[in-house]
Amino acid sequence: MSIALSAEERSERLARYYDLDFLDVVYDAELYQQLAHIAGGSVLELGVGSGRVAIPLALAGHDVLGIDSDEAMLARAEATWEAQRGELERERFQTRLGDFHDLRTEPRFGLALIAVNTFLLAEDDQARLAVLATMRDHLRTGGLAAVEIGTPDLAELERYDRRLQHEWLREDPETGEQVSKTISANYDDVEGTLELTQIYEWTTARGGSVSRVTKVDLLHLLSAARLEELALQAGFGEVNVWGDHLLIPYDAGSHRAILHARLV
């Protein structure tokens, strides 16, 4: 029998399982640390989530502002920062609840970033340009913008036909619970969208009833070429697109695109 969760409990679970999902992923955070070092100064992350990328940047010496609309994610980020910051100033990592477009502060950042696929939540070019404009307006001259999106090929997209795909079974280090993640995705070639359903199920270490929480996102797919065009249209000057976190140029075999754009 599944446990009925309140909205607050559901959000807290999803925030915790996000970190469990990315437990062994560090390569993107390492890339953003490299870019932050090149850019210098403060860092702005749109869609900061649980602070998985932002907190290592703050620990490395950068002042970081993270924006997100998910209160549970921000609460988790703030708790993690408090647990890890040691003698560092609390103000080095700050969060703000709200929509990207509502951000109004001085253009003081050396690096503005959007990690993983958050940018694909923007539903059309108007929304994408608005996000890029937020990044542009808060960068100082010479600052860098970095945006990562997935660019699955047609063969991969055709496998997204609502079939269930089990991804992992892990122990939650915070609770000892056994947690399983399964996804179901549906690709709409007419709309160019991918509906992604993430299903997390858990039980205690001693077994018993299984409980479930589900998250559904609609991703609006985008080509690397169009991402580059939008960055130029948004007013960035030097624009490059890499195909992975090792900074290899994007090509037809790349499954992700990482925008690197400078405000000149």
The per-residue DSSP string of 93-161 comes to EEEEES-GGG----S-EEEEEE-TTGGGGS-SHHHHHHHHHHHHHTEEEEEEEEEEEE---HHHHHT-E
Please tell me the predicted confidence (pLDDT) of residue 91.
96
The pair of three-digit structure tokens given for residue 188, joined into one six-digit string? 């709409």
158 with 115, same domain: the answer is no
- Sorted by sequence, the CB contacts under 8 Å of residue 174 that are 6+ apart come out as 16
Ranges of residues in the chain whose predicted pLDDT is under 70: 1-3
Please tell me the predicted confidence (pLDDT) of residue 87.
95
Please tell me the predicted confidence (pLDDT) of residue 209.
85
HSE value, Cβ hemisphere, 13 Å, CA-based, for 194: 22
CATH number at 176 reads 2.20.25
119 with 187, same domain: the answer is no
168 with 211, same domain: the answer is yes
The pair of three-digit structure tokens given for residue 194, joined into one six-digit string? 């991918």
Q: pLDDT tens digits for 104-113?
A: 888 789 999 9
Measured torsion, CA atoms of residues 96, 131, 119, 254, in degrees rounded to the nearest 10: -130
53 with 165, same domain: the answer is no
Please tell me the predicted confidence (pLDDT) of residue 261.
97
Helix axis angle for 71-84 and 7-21, nearest 10°, is 50
Evaluate whether residue 3 is within a structural domain. Answer: no
CATH number at 12 reads 3.40.50.150
Alpha helices per DSSP H over the chain: 7-21, 27-39, 54-59, 71-84, 125-137, 154-158, 224-233
Q: pLDDT tens digits for 126-168?
A: 999 999 999 999 999 999 999 999 999 999 999 999 999 999 9
Domain that holds residue 178: 154-220
202 with 159, same domain: the answer is yes
The pair of three-digit structure tokens given for residue 228, joined into one six-digit string? 């580059």
100 with 194, same domain: the answer is no
187 with 144, same domain: the answer is no
The pair of three-digit structure tokens given for residue 24, joined into one six-digit string? 């062994």
Return the number of other C-beta atoms located less than 10 Å from residue 226's C-beta: 14
Count of domains observed in the chain: 2
CA-nearest of 85, 82, 96 to 62 is 85
